[in-house]
Structure 1
Amino acid sequence: MSLFKRSVVSEIMSHAGVVFSTLLVVWLSVLLVRLLGEAANGSIGADVVFGLATFSSITALPVILSVSLFIAVLTTVTRNFRESEMVVWFASGLSLKDWVGPVLRCAVPVAIIIAVLTLMASPWAYRQISEYRQRYEQRSDLSKVTVGQFIETDEGARVFFAEEPTEEGAEMGKVIARVIDPEWLSVITAQGARIQTEANGDRFLVLTDGHRYDLKPGKPDFRLIDFERYGFRLESKAEANSAEAVRRMAESQIKARPTMSLMADNNDKARSQIMWRMALPLAALNLALLAIPLGAVNPRLGRSGDLLIAGLVGLLYMNLINLSRGWIGNGQLAFGVGLWLVHAVFAALMVYMMWRKLRVKAPKDPLPKTA
């Protein structure tokens, strides 16, 4: 490998590593904030936050890798132009088209990794995320209560707060709960709580030594009840909404289906998902090559405008792929056309821009002679 190719490959990989690390940290920060918010609201358990963050990051890796490669090639080419290193390479007999080989040397392995992620790893990660959430939804309301935290369950109809138990062997300490039913809004306080399972399998949360305050919102009706033991039935969401859960899973879990299973289906939704999985590796290659002419800037001009245009081109590319996926899923675009159309347009754009950069312009006419 020549000195030029070694230096280009080394610089691209170095920039790609920095960009990838930065984007991954930003992604994880945003993701953890969202997951911790869901855990605080009771939508997920605190014990599954780390697992969900790991699997969600796997699903985001294809896009992060594509963007990292595009930015790495773009910054490498731009730096060589702005620091006048390209003058040295041009004087050595090289041209802009000689960048294609080193860029492909970096882009092809990354595209293969993206293909493995989109076709195999991402569907598996989506299945794990779905299983995590389903297992949490199947847990009873009491099992979701975390000592020292307010937890919402049953879509906000029940809110629990429990303290640490003070008696040895007790399941929970003091408990306060708010329960909303069609007629009454109830606030319940108790000195302790435990789970009781009946012979028929029904499970009850039994509160001891407490008070119940009932009121009708907007009306003067009010009730106060003191109790030594009070229980209400805990329903498993898997039992209450099993038919709804099956229907929802069949509609929304297409991302989690293996690629071979999607190929066996002859419907638009499956074809749109296949198109998305196949498009990301091709987009990584196209964007890497497109970054070569986009990065060939005039060092005498400002740099903000060129970088902004390059970012808009990359954003437009990914949005058009997503738009094509939606059209294929709705039956408005044929699968074969949607799979190649966007990539062909941007490949043609890359060839045209390379031609514009490589062509030799005729010298300007000399100044007209004066009489």
Structure 2
Amino acid sequence: MIIRRYLVKQVVSTSIVVIALLTLIMMGGRLIKYFGVAAQGRLDTGVLFSIIGYRLPEFLTLIMPLGFFIGLMLVFGRLYTDSEMAVFNASGISRNRLARLLIPLTTVFLIVQIALMAWISPWGIRKFEALTSAQAVRTGFDLVRPKEFVSSGPYTIYASDLSEDRKNLKNVVFYQRAQSENKPDIVILAKEAKRVEIPNDPANVVDLIEGRRYELYPGQPKYSQAEFKSYRLRIENNSAEAASGDEAEAMPLLNLWDKRNDPVIQSELGWRVFGPFIIVIALMLATILSEVNPRQGRYYRLLPGILIFASLIVALMAVKTRITRDELGIWAYPTVLAVYALVTYWFLRTPKRSPKTISTSSK
């Protein structure tokens, strides 16, 4: 159908432009943040764009529905301002019928959104966590720069000079923060440090030459001191962390289903199952919110429409938080979607007047 092809072309092109712009804005800010982390020596600059790539699907899960909604608002708004909607109505084609012509396109966006939320975004989060864990293995000795203090996890390292192969450091200061209240902070001063490569050993091993080792107990008036000619230091990767709610975002869908009795898992499972259907609500909302007078311009209702659509996303995120705290059940997701859908459907069923056109009469 010619009208369907015309609408699909307009909506797709506009939505892609909006999605690309929103992605550029959001990911640009995130990239600046990671550049700041890299500038502090806590991240290798070579993995910056890999990190951005892995985080992109996670951002698209929110950007794509909003971009699709804004694209619909702009296209329908232009139909009103250019009096094309008046021509459609005069030909017996209502706004609701035009919206129904976009159902196949909406289904495509829905499938893409399901794929993003159910599989692609969790995969990206897992890759991102694996990459950041690999960066955690890179301790301060890997990231050290001459005459600068560099922190990595519980370690802080300073060296006055560094060889080109990064294996020899001069005038080294090493500090390790205590991991518990009963353990001491460790400070080591050495004239030289040499990297030791041990096959199949993920830790960093360094031989310190001629120095002193101090054990300091925070809040207590005691310490211990030892001098050495050679001291081998082994810096382990402290990758074992307590499980948190963020882990659920990286879990495969089948794993979430196996642990569905946990409130945190329930919130993430419900978000992945019901969240994609905001694409359908976007089509319904855009159909009723985009109607404007030709003299008002197609941007007249864009901001209010974005706020209304954003309220749906905020409501779902609030539900997700409440379910995580075991204050609501997973049924809250479809309830919110149903409320928005029913209210929108009621407005769609309400008879609307055709857009007014300017008529001229000859005298």
CA shift at 1:88, angstroms? 1.7
- Segments of 5+ residues of structure 2 without an aligned counterpart are 179-183, 219-225, 355-363
Which residue of the partner structure matches residue 288 of structure 1? 283
Are 1:310 and 2:308 an aligned pair?
A: no
Q: 1:311-326 counterparts in 2 under 5 A?
A: 311-326=306-321
Which residue of the partner structure matches residue 206 of structure 2? 205
Which residue of the partner structure matches residue 237 of structure 1? 237
Which residue of the partner structure matches residue 160 of structure 1? 158
Deviations 1:36-60 (A, max 9, x none): 2223334433333222211110222
Which residue of the partner structure matches residue 263 of structure 1? 257
Q: 1:1-371 counterparts in 2 under 5 A?
A: 1-2=1-2, 4-137=3-136, 139=137, 141-147=139-145, 151-155=150-154, 157-160=155-158, 163-165=161-163, 171-172=167-168, 174=170, 177=173, 179=175, 190=191, 193-196=193-196, 204-207=205-208, 231=231, 233-238=233-238, 242=240, 245=241, 248-249=242-243, 251-267=245-261, 268-301=263-296, 306-335=301-330, 337-356=331-350, 358=352
CA shift at 1:70, angstroms? 0.5
CA shift at 1:211, angstroms? 10
Deviations 1:227-261 (A, max 9, x none): 996646233133xx74xx2xx24654111111111
Deviations 1:81-126 (A, max 9, x none): 1122212222222111122223222211011011011111122212
Distance 1:324 1:74 in 2: 27
TM-score (ref. length: structure 1): 0.78
CA shift at 1:320, angstroms? 0.5
> Does the 8 A contact of 2:285 with 2:344 survive in 1?
yes
CA shift at 1:329, angstroms? 2.2
CA shift at 1:152, angstroms? 1.1
3-state DSSP class of the match of 1:237? coil
3-state DSSP class of the match of 1:299? coil
Query: CA separation of 1:233/1:312 partners in 2, compared to 1, >3 Å: closer, same or farther?
Result: same
Distance 2:160 2:279 in 1: 51
Distance 1:175 1:293 in 2: 70
Deviations 1:256-294 (A, max 9, x none): 111111112232221111111122320011112211111
Please, what is the CA RMSD of the aligned residues? Answer: 3.8
- Segments of 5+ residues of structure 1 without an aligned counterpart are 218-224, 361-371
Query: CA separation of 1:285/1:162 partners in 2, compared to 1, >3 Å: closer, same or farther?
Result: farther
- % identical aligned pairs: 21
CA shift at 1:356, angstroms? 3.7
TM-score (ref. length: structure 2): 0.80
CA shift at 1:352, angstroms? 2.5
Distance 1:73 1:181 in 2: 54
Distance 1:161 1:18 in 2: 49
Which amino acid counterpart does residue 179 of structure 1 have in structure 2? Y
Q: How many residues align?
A: 345
Distance 1:67 1:325 in 2: 19
